[in-house]
Amino acid sequence: MTQPAILALEDGTVFEGDSVGAPGLAVGEVVFNTAMTGYQEILTDPSYARQLVTLTYPHIGNTGCNAADDESTRAWAAGLIVRDVPRRPSNWRNQVALPQWLRERNVVAISGIDTRKLTRILRDRGAQHAALAAGEDIDVDAAIEAARKFPGLQGMDLAKVVSTAQAHPWRDGRLDLDANAFVRVEPKYRVVVYDFGVKHTILRMLAERGCEVTVVPAQTGAAEALALRPDGICLSNGPGDPAACDYAIAATREFVAKRIPLYGICLGHQLLGLAIGARTVKMKFGHHGANHPVIDLDTGRVLITSQNHGFAVDEASLPGNARVTHRSLFDGSNQGIALTDAPAFSFQGHPEASPGPHDVAYLFDRFIASMEAR
């Protein structure tokens, strides 16, 4: 039997629907994602911690879920909001239907609401604080109250919360679907990946390019990381406000000063910006999707990219030694920088995609080239 669920926004707007996940109350910032596929990767992307994700594509769950597509070891999104979950998933890789997958991971989810209306609210007013309640005996007023009490992501350091507790190696390349196994490549470069909420595909794309990857906790000091004698450092994606990660900004500053090849992805991009003295700002509703056009200013090529961020580097605040390499064609915001006096560069979107097109994968090759050059 289906149980009821509601989504209550901080302004008192309430959407009523059906529970399609675990019972309970989840509170966070609601964001909309326009990707048509990849719900499992989205739900397991640690960058969605403390966020309730609504997918604008109306049918979610069509292909089910499987053991290989997780982007981390658990579901991180605080909750899921969809229009409709098809009753029966159909795909050769399907192992478990989305509602069961959500229940097993204790993710609260609602279906049957007008996600187009919700998305218009988010576009007009910006990302909203909200509470998602599912199960019998829902207290609507308590949910609205809980939404109002959510402190917001600004100033919130979540990277150290989602990060690994211990340093560990990573060896698997990407999944070879024909062989049904992860690709292994003989390592050539030692790379330290800062785990601020790293997605597995980032680690896989490094491993399959010959990197011997060591994943380290977010708060690892620069000296400790350098003691591993890395050829390069990768700063991962991650949730929360980048400006709150003072420890990571300090470590990044040292890597830049020592001219270690450095590659920042999403939160990692923002941290590089902050480390060289730029500012980051909270966006109105951010970029979350798999079809965002971004221009590579060096080549003039337009890349179709995967995006998931709510903060951005303020281009006007960049110092003279930072070159703007990429810009969003949706709103003109900064999407990439490269330093002119150190082998450090970064990208705001997701070069690893997952889900999304592979247009930006060349940045992984650029990182390899910068380690090779050194």
Ligand X SMILES: NC(=O)CC[C@H](N)C(=O)O
Query: Around Cβ 282, how many Cβ atoms within 10 Å?
Result: 16
Is 267 known as a binding-site position?
Answer: yes
Burial class (CB in 10 A: 0-12, 13-18, 19+), 101: buried
Of the listed pieces 122-130, 215-223, 231-239, 320-328, which binds ligand X according to CB under 6 A?
A: 231-239
CA distance 233 to 192: 5
Name 32's bridge partners: 54
- Taking the complex as a whole, the smallest distance from the CB of residue 155 to ligand X amounts, in Å, to 12
Angle between helices 362-373 and 200-207 (to 10 degrees): 50
Is 311 known as a binding-site position?
Answer: yes
Q: What is the 3-state secondary structure (H, E, C) of 307-320?
A: EEEEEEECHHHCCC
Q: How far is CA 244 from CA 158, 337, 344, in A?
A: 9, 21, 21
Tell me if 333 contacts ligand X by CB under 6 A: no
Of the listed pieces 8-16, 74-82, 306-314, 359-367, which binds ligand X according to CB under 6 A?
A: 306-314
Is 240 known as a binding-site position?
Answer: yes
- Taking the complex as a whole, the smallest distance from the CB of residue 104 to ligand X amounts, in Å, to 25
* Residue list 47-66, contact with ligand X (CB under 6 A): 47
CA distance 183 to 91: 23
* Cα within 13 Å of Cα(287), Cβ side: 26
Nearer to ligand X, 32 or 311 (CB): 311
Residues annotated as catalytic are 266, 350, 352
* Residue list 255-294, contact with ligand X (CB under 6 A): 266-267
* Cα within 13 Å of Cα(157), Cβ side: 12
Nearer to ligand X, 240 or 356 (CB): 240
Nearer to ligand X, 173 or 240 (CB): 240
Binding mask 309-328 for ligand X (x = CB under 6 A): xxx-----------------
Tell me if 201 contacts ligand X by CB under 6 A: no
Tell me if 239 contacts ligand X by CB under 6 A: yes
Q: Which residues bind ligand X (CB under 6 A)?
A: 47, 237-240, 242, 266-267, 308-311
